[in-house]
Amino acid sequence: MSFETQSKSDILTRLKADLATMLNGQSSIEGTFNADMLTANAIEFEQAYAEMNLMIEANFADTSWGEYLTARAAEFGVIRKEAAKAIGKLKVTGTAGSSIVTGSLFATEQDIKFYSRGDAIVSADGTVTINIECGVAGAVGNVEAGTIVNIPMSMPGITSCTNLATTYDGFKEETDAALLERYLLKVRTPATSGNKYHYLQWALSVTGVGQSKVIPLWNGAGTVKVVIINSDGATASDDLIADVIAYIESVRPIGATVTVTSPAPLAINIVADITGIADIDAVTTAVNTYLTANGFSMTYVSIAQIGKILLSTTGITDYSKLKINDGTTNITISDEELPICGTVTLNVAT
């Protein structure tokens, strides 16, 4: 017999029938003591059935969630990827010879804290570039260039600081959907002896990797290329690529020559005449959302899909003379390219 959840009304009906059988002649109509007692029990029993149903759902990966999915996946060696702290470089200015010790504190105007990752000495020109790490994990640490400018705690001889480039590789904890996808990949694909699926699983298990593809024999016998993008659907940093290389080298079979790369951004520039309102920001956001979700698996960018996005944008009722990258045909995408939205030019028809 299969398990089914029960409603309060169904339970109450059965309880009243049972009571009538056990205590012949006693009333259980609404307003009586018996009815109130049975109703209270029916409410609790309904909750118990709901909890039992959740227990069943938690036991199967397809319907599980949170800590229960984490535990289920871990049984098969698939460990949920923790949130990662953003890293970057900071240019510090001060008196030559002044020292910066590991763990020195710097911050943005919004008080996002960063800490130095090693000792450093200000050079003769009065500057030194140091490695930094955000104090908290997650995308909050991915801050724009020129925003880490505060020194909350006094450091002798140090006068100012700034990050010349955006900090990067701050990632949130792996989502349930991403963990389930890796779990199903592990249990449904034959990953053995360093085959294609093994390299795919190894790459995806590294924190910060969002998607991956594996190209066996890409440069002759014994060669494997692993192509990755990060968890945000963007080109992976050199640091993330190095992490993937290090992990794969620690687990792969002897003999293979492994190359790990990440596709370079390929801007898709859009020009069209439109009828309606030229909301360039809305079109840019919609195209980026589409390309982030699908770009890594694309072999071409469809001009028809771009047209569909235009028509789906609020305020645009029609378009003509659509071009992407100065052409009217699809744009071919190689394994070394990742399409992103470039410039969007919308000319309102008069």
Geometric angle at alpha carbon 88, from 158 and 164, rounded to 5°:
65
CATH architecture of 189-261: 2-Layer Sandwich (3.30)
Residue 144 · residue 166 · CB < 8 Å: yes
Residue ranges per domain, the chain?
A: 8-59, 85-162, 189-261, 265-348
Q: Tell me the pLDDT of the chain (350 aa) as tens digits.
A: 456 777 778 777 777 776 666 666 565 566 566 666 777 777 877 788 777 888 888 889 999 999 999 999 999 999 999 999 999 999 999 999 999 999 999 999 999 999 999 999 999 999 999 999 999 999 999 999 999 999 999 999 999 999 999 999 999 999 999 999 999 999 998 888 888 999 999 999 999 999 999 999 999 988 999 999 999 999 999 999 999 999 999 998 888 899 999 999 999 999 999 999 999 999 999 999 999 999 999 999 999 999 999 999 999 999 999 999 999 999 999 989 999 999 999 999 86
The 3-state DSSP composition of the chain as helix, strand, coil percent (nearest 5) reads: 35, 30, 35
Question: Could you say which DSSP state residue 139 is in?
Answer: G
What does the alpha-carbon distance between residue 128 and residue 119 come to, in Å, rounded to a whole number? 11
Q: 157: part of which helix (H) or strand (E)? A: none
- For domain 85-162, give its CATH number from 2.60.120, 1.20.1300, 1.25.40, 2.40.30: 2.40.30
**Residues whose CB is less than 8 angstroms from the CB of residue 45 and which lie 6 or more positions away in sequence, other chains included:** 6, 8, 11
Q: What are the b/e assignments for 255-265, b being 16+ CB within 10 Å?
A: eeebebbbbee
DSSP 262: -
- Alpha helices (H) along the chain: 8-22, 33-59, 66-74, 176-188, 196-204, 238-251, 280-294, 303-312
What is the reported pLDDT for 254? Answer: 84
Q: Is the CB of residue 344 less than 8 Å from the CB of residue 270?
A: yes
The token duo for 64 is 């599980």
Of 131, 143, 139, 203, the closest CA to residue 170 belongs to 139
109 class by beta-carbon count within 10 Å (0-12 exposed, 13-18 middle, 19+ buried): exposed
Rounded Cα–Cα distance for residues 73 and 64 (Å): 10
Question: Rounded to two decimals, what is the model's pTM?
Answer: 0.81
